[in-house]
Amino acid sequence: MVSHDVLHISDLHVESREQVDGLLGTLEVDLRHDLACERLRAIIVSGDVTNHATDAQYALALDLLSELRAAFEVPDDGMVVAPGNHDVSWAASKAALTRQRASRRSAAGLFFPDPQNAAFRYRADEVAYRERFTAYAAFQLAVSGVAFPLAYEDQFHIHVLEDAGLLVLTLNSAWNLNHVQDKDAGIHANGFDRAIKQLVRTPRYRELNKIAVWHHPLDSHGDDRIRDAAFARRLAQIGFGLALHGHTHEVRTQRLLYELADDGRVLHVMGAGSLAASARELPLATPWSYNLIRVTPQRATLVPRFRRSAKDPWEPYPVWQKNALERSTEYAVAFRPAAPAGGDASALIGTLAELKRHLAAENYSLDGHRIAVEAHLFDAQGRVLLQRRGELARDEVDRHEGIGGELGLRTDLLAALREEIADKLGPEVSVEIDKLLEVRPITFLERGHDRQSWYVVSYLGRLVSGAPRIMRPGLTRSLDFFTLQQIEEAAEGSLSASTVRAFSAYRARYGNVPYFERTDVR
C-alpha cells in the first residue's frame, strides 16, 4: 500500500542561529535513523514560527525549513504553513493602535477595550492594523510559494497534494489578535465561508482525504482557545478527518463527533506540542515534541516524538493509554472508517478471497461477522430501485433498502449477488454491475437474536432489461424507484440504516448525480 510521510511541527519560536542548527541536526538524525524516513511528502507548520515576528527571526526560520525541505526532498507543493499568535507583530500592532478615553466621541471605527483600565480604549488605524501580518506574509511566500493576503476574509489556502490523495486547508486563528487583545482566537466567519465555497469547487474534493490546519486549540485550560467551534463541526460534516494545531505546547487529541454512529463522521483534532519553545514556556513536566504522520489512502497514523532537553535525542512518546498496563506511541485516524473502495469494473471485489485481502489491508477482520452483498440499481432515467422490506423480514420491516442478501456459504460475491437479484426481482431481469461503492461494517438487531455484526459489500449497477417484480411477497412489500434527491430527502425511518450509510458514501463521491454520468470520478 502506498504510504506518504508528513512532518507536523509547531511552535518553533525561532530566535537564534544556534537554535536552528541544533534542531536541524537532531531532527534529521531522528527521522532517518529511528523512523526510517528518507523522504517527506509535506512539512506542515501550525503556527508560532518565530518568537517575536521580526524579519531576522523569519530569515532564520526560512533557513531551517529550507534545509529540511532539501534534505528530505519535499516537493514544491509540500510546504504548508499557518500563522500563530507569535506570528502577529506586536510592534506593528502598537504602531496602529491609539489609546484614547472611552468616553470620547469618535466616528465609527475599529476599537479595542483597554484590559487594564475600562476608562480607556484603543482605536485602530485599520490600514496600518493589517500590517501586523506583513512579516509573516513575506515568510509564507518565501517558504511555500503561497501568498498570504492581508485581508482577513482571504487568509486561507487549499493545498491539493494529488499524488498523496490529500487536501490540506490552512486557516488563520490569530487574525483578531493584537498586543492588547491576545486571547480572542477564532476563525474569521466570512473567510471560512469563502474557504468552504472554494473547497467544494475543487476538483475531486470528495475523494481526497482532508486535513485542516490552524494554530489555537478548541479546548484549553486558559482563555486562549477558539471558543466558537462551529466551524470545526462543519469541517467534520464535509469529510475532514484530521485537524492539526499548536499553541498548547503539548501533544493532545480531541474527537469532535458529527455523527454518533460507530462509522460516523468525526474530526480528530491533534496538537503537535512545541518543537523548540523556551523551557519556561512549556507546561510543567512537558517535553519538546513533534509528529510524524504516516498517510495511506485509508488512514493517518500519528507518531509523536519527544526529547527531554536540547542535548537529548528524540524518543518515542507514549502519549495515549492503551489499556490498564500499556501506553501507545501511535494514534490512528481512519479517513474512511467503513473502508470504502471505488473504481471501475476492474476494481470490483468479486470473491471471498478478494474481500479478505481487502479487509486485511485495512486492518479489518472477518472474524465474528456475517457477509451481505447488495446492489443499488439505476434505471435509464437515473432513478434507484429499492425494495421495501416485508413483514417476514428479519429486521427493519417497512424500510427501503438495496437488492441483495446474505452471502452464506458462497464464495463468489458477484455470482451470489446476481442470484439474489434474480430471486428478488425475477430471472428475466438483466443487470450490469459496474462499480464497488464500499465495504461497510454494520450491526443489526434481528428479531429473536442478539446483535449481529455484518460486512455489507455494496455495489452500483444498472438495470439493462426485464421488468422487476416481487418474487418474495413476505419479504418484499413493494419495489419503488427513487431519484437521488428523494433519497437524500427521505423521511427519517423510511430507509434502512445500511441504506442511509450507503447513500452518504455515494453523495460524498458522486453528489446527487447518477454515477454513470460522472466522467470525472473513477
Question: For 396-448, what is each residue's pLDDT tens digit?
Answer: 889 999 999 999 999 999 999 999 999 999 999 999 999 999 888 887 665 55
**Residue ending a domain, choose from 288, 307, 334:** 334
> Given pLDDT bands bounded at 50, 70 and 90, which one contains residue 520?
low
Question: For 368-387, what is each residue's pLDDT tens digit?
Answer: 889 999 999 999 999 999 99
Considering the domain architecture, whether residues 433 and 506 belong to the same structural domain is answered as yes
Considering the domain architecture, whether residues 358 and 385 belong to the same structural domain is answered as yes
Most confident range, picked from 6-20, 229-243, 262-276, 350-364: 6-20
Q: Is residue 522 part of a domain?
A: no
Considering the domain architecture, whether residues 369 and 284 belong to the same structural domain is answered as no
Residues 459-475, mean pLDDT to the nearest whole number = 94
SS3 353: helix
Report the run of H or E that residue 57 belongs to, with start and end: helix 55-71
The total number of structural domains that make up the chain = 2
Sequence letter at residue 221: H
3-state per-residue secondary structure call for 11-53:
CCCECCHHHHHHHHHHHHHHHHHHCCCCCCCEEEEECCCECCC
User: From start to end of 308-450, where are the E strands?
Assistant: 315-316, 320-321, 327-328, 331-334, 370-378, 384-389, 400-401, 403-406, 430-445
pTM (predicted TM-score): 0.66
Q: Is residue 339 part of a domain?
A: no
Question: For 275-288, what is each residue's pLDDT tens digit?
Answer: 999 888 888 779 99
Q: Is residue 221 part of a domain?
A: yes
Question: For 288-336, what is each residue's pLDDT tens digit?
Answer: 999 999 998 888 999 999 999 888 999 999 998 888 888 999 998 988 5
Within 10 Å of residue 370's Cβ, how many Cβ atoms? 14
Distance in angstroms (rounded) separating the CA atoms of residues 195 and 156? 7
Considering the domain architecture, whether residues 267 and 360 belong to the same structural domain is answered as no
Considering the domain architecture, whether residues 280 and 206 belong to the same structural domain is answered as yes
Domain that holds residue 420: 345-517
Question: For 87-143, what is each residue's pLDDT tens digit?
Answer: 999 999 999 999 988 877 766 778 888 888 988 999 989 899 999 999 999 999 999
Q: Is residue 431 part of a domain?
A: yes
CATH number of the domain at 471, please: 3.90.79.10
Considering the domain architecture, whether residues 150 and 169 belong to the same structural domain is answered as yes
Considering the domain architecture, whether residues 16 and 137 belong to the same structural domain is answered as yes
**Residue ending a domain, choose from 315, 334, 353:** 334
Taking CA atoms, 45 is separated from 37, 229, 268, 317, 447, in Å, by: 18, 21, 18, 19, 53
Q: Is residue 196 part of a domain?
A: yes
Asked if 170 and 80 count as a contact pair (C-beta separation under 8 A), the reply is yes
Query: Tell me, what's the pLDDT at 43?
Result: 98
Considering the domain architecture, whether residues 100 and 60 belong to the same structural domain is answered as yes
Query: Tell me, what's the pLDDT at 182?
Result: 87
Sequence letter at residue 237: Q
Report the run of H or E that residue 181 belongs to, with start and end: none
Within 10 Å of residue 35's Cβ, how many Cβ atoms? 16
Residues 6+ away with beta carbon under 8 Å from 101: 119, 120, 121
Q: How many residues does the chain have?
A: 522
**Residue ending a domain, choose from 283, 305, 334:** 334
Asked if 521 and 509 count as a contact pair (C-beta separation under 8 A), the reply is yes
Distance in angstroms (rounded) separating the CA atoms of residues 254 and 280? 25
Q: Is residue 241 part of a domain?
A: yes
Q: Is residue 32 part of a domain?
A: yes
Asked if 9 and 40 count as a contact pair (C-beta separation under 8 A), the reply is no
Q: Is residue 465 part of a domain?
A: yes
Considering the domain architecture, whether residues 89 and 207 belong to the same structural domain is answered as yes
CATH number of the domain at 154, please: 3.60.21.10
Asked if 24 and 67 count as a contact pair (C-beta separation under 8 A), the reply is yes
Selection from 436, 286, 282 nearest residue 347 by Cα: 436
Considering the domain architecture, whether residues 281 and 383 belong to the same structural domain is answered as no
Considering the domain architecture, whether residues 123 and 100 belong to the same structural domain is answered as yes
Grid coordinates representing 230 are 462551529
Distance in angstroms (rounded) separating the CA atoms of residues 205 and 239? 9
Give strand pairing partners of 377. 385, 461
Distance in angstroms (rounded) separating the CA atoms of residues 387 and 385? 7
pLDDT surpasses 80 at 341: no
Considering the domain architecture, whether residues 466 and 370 belong to the same structural domain is answered as yes
Percentage of the chain with pLDDT > 90?
Answer: 62
